[in-house]
Structure 1
Amino acid sequence: MLLTGLITIAAFILIGRGASSAERKPLPMAAGFILLAISLSLHVVHHESLMRSVTTVSAEFGVGFWVLAGMLSKAHRPAKPFFALGAMTLALAVVLIASGKIRSAIDVETILVELGPDDRIEEVEHILARHDAAAERAYPTVTLSEDADLAQVYLVTVPVDRTDRLIEDLTSDRENVDHTEVNRLFDMIHPVSQPGVVTEAESVLENDPLVGRQWALSAINGHEAHALLKDAAPARKAVVAILDTGVDG
């Protein structure tokens, strides 16, 4: 957050002024500590994740410690401890950023977000950024004139541990968001074709030259049923309609 960063740097400048003066001034230092408390409280109010908050605070404090160390060094006061603290907190921020990117790349989930017909994804960018989420159109080739619903559906990628909070925040934005749900993917179990041995009788009863690959007939004992009905005469005729969706599995 830019605001908390500016407040943190201002706080360290005030602390530095109070600590580097010939006679230490408690008032600027007290004001600096108050600003630090305000900065930390803003991180809490902003509902950031713990990892993001620690990373941001580490980066802000690292820069702040270096600013303080520079002011103390210029005033010929001990500054090395603050240089060291700044280096350690900045190093911690770098490690957290790197680990967060690796984790986000591995452990992510997608959700579907449908916006209103007159809304734009930019209107919820601040919510997405808060949860390190990225959005892309789910149906990029569909225009609003073709389908006002599909054109407003976005596929949002978000770290798994932030999915619930992101959905909650997006759902609360009733002005821009019409619907949100987890994009669940289900893999169909593909049947394994097993070539069978076609006998002469089956060739007569089942006039499909690829009957040996019809795994379903074996699964329902269709060959045996044909054998039983081979010499049977039906009492009456029946009309059979076959409705096929064309979807196997």
Structure 2
Amino acid sequence: MTRWMTTDERAFFDTNGYAVIQGLYTRQETEEMKQELDKIWLDGIVAGSIVQQPKRPLDSLFPPLRDVHLTSKYLLGVMTDPRQFDIVEQIIGEEALAIGTGCFFKPPGAAALPFHQDNYDIGVDPGTTCAVWISLDDTDPDNGGLRFVPGTQHLGLLPPKIPGHASVYGQAVPVPRGYEVAHVRTRQGDAVVFGGNILHGSNPNVTKHRFRRAFVTHFAGASTEKIMVHHLDLRNRHGELMQRRMNRYHKLQFIDEYQRRK
């Protein structure tokens, strides 16, 4: 296993709950990813599964694409790239399983993504998730770059609130008192790795012409016993299908645990 994270990057991750690994992918590799995602997007336009809405002309035309590895052999290869598995296994200290993938175009005018915790929806138990977020464009706060709340990875899952009709996301967690928001900048080809309990989101894209495309894979440790999503089609580093029990009552259990912690 190659050690892709430096000692400083690992120390930063342990303290803050996330880290940026610079230049993990080449420009050629990220351009190939964008070309493949463009093909999938065009297929959605032709099939009518992506429909433009007059009130959200660009945002609705470029929605997130979920689990593209299920239909793209190329992106399945990205999902199971040894570089990603090596990084995740270096962090979690055991073999990893890939859960699912997502693509985000974040076009000009796209709204902010509220702060949330990935494992609230994914439901890995025991343990939590670990994400590898590949930056397909240069990102900064203006074009919708990622933002984190360092230290919140130690708080466990927190109760979300309904973010309101203006958001396309189903949960929003308020920033706890005493914590500060960190805005992340990346270059094309960088990867941001972060755990499933850290509060994170993204800024609105206030630029006129810059997209903020990204490809993300979520992982769990092989010792995970149950999971809410993709419990029958997890992948190991060889691309082989793996199964776990469905964590059907994850959110109800979380509510009980949170009430006990209060």
| TM band (smaller chain) | under 0.3
Tell me the TM-score normalised to structure 1 length.
0.20
1 or 2 for the larger relative contact order (CA 8 Å, sep ≥6)?
2
Q: Which of the two has higher C-alpha Rg?
A: 1
TM-score (norm 2): 0.19
